[in-house]
Structure 1
Amino acid sequence: MINEDREWLEGGGERASIARPEIVESWRRSQMSGVNPDDVTIVPGEATRDCKIARVAIPVLSAMADVLIGANTSLLLSAPDGTMLWRWTENSRLKALLDRRSAVVGTRWNEEFMGTNGLGTALETVKPIMINGEEHFSEALHPFTCAGAPIRHPVTRRVAGVLSVTSLVEHASPLMGPTLLKLVREVEEQLYSDSTLRERELLQHFLAERRGNRNAVIAVNEDVVIANRAGAQLPIDHRALWNQVESGCRDGTDVRLDDSQVTGQVRWRTIGYADSVMGLVIVAESDEPQRTGRRPAAEVDSGTTPVWSELPELLRTNAAGSDRVLVTGEVGVGKRALVREAFDGSVKELDCAAAHEVGAERWLAMARSALLDDDGEQDVVLLSHLEALGTLMCRALGGMLDRIPRDRSGLVVAGTWTPCGDADVEPAVRALLDRFTSEPFEVPPLRKRPADVLRRVVDQGPGMPSLSAEAVEQAKSHPWPGNHRQLEEFRRWLSRQNRPVIGVKDLPPRWSQEAARARLTAIQAAEADAIAAALRECDGNKAAAAAKLGISRSSLYRKMREYRLR
Structure 2
Amino acid sequence: MREVSMSSRLAWEAFQHGDEPPDLREEILTSWRRSRLSGVSPLAQDFERIEIDIESRFARVAIPLMTEMAELLADSETCLAMANGAAHVLWRWAPDSRLRHQLDLAGLLVGHSFNEELIGTNAVGTSLEVGRTAAVRSEEHYREAFHRFNCVATPVVDPITHRILGTINLTWSPNYQESAVAPLVQKMAREVQTALKDAAGARERRLLDAFLDARARSAHPVVALNSELIIGNHLAPVPNFRHEVLWGRVLDTVDGPDLTIEVAPGWSATVRAIFDGKSLLGALLVFDTPQHETPVPTVSAGPPHGATASAHARVRETVGRVVRDGGAVVLRGEPGVGKKHVVVDALGAGAEVLDASDIAADGPEAWLGMLRRSLNRTTPLVVTHLDSLDQRTARAVASILSAAAEPPRLGATVTVGRGEQPAWLLSIVDALGATVIDLGPLRNRQDEIQPLADTFAGDVPLAPETREVLQRYTWPGNVAELRQAVRTAVVSSDGTVVNPAHLPDSVRLETWTNRHLSLIERAEAEVITRVLTRANGNKTVAARELGVSRPTLYAKIRAYRISVPTTHVEVG
Q: TM-score range by the shorter chain?
A: 0.3 to 0.5
Structure number with the bigger relative contact order (C-alpha 8 A, sep ≥ 6) is 2
Larger Rg: 1
Using structure 1 for the length normalisation, give the TM-score: 0.44
TM-score, normalized by length of structure 2? 0.43
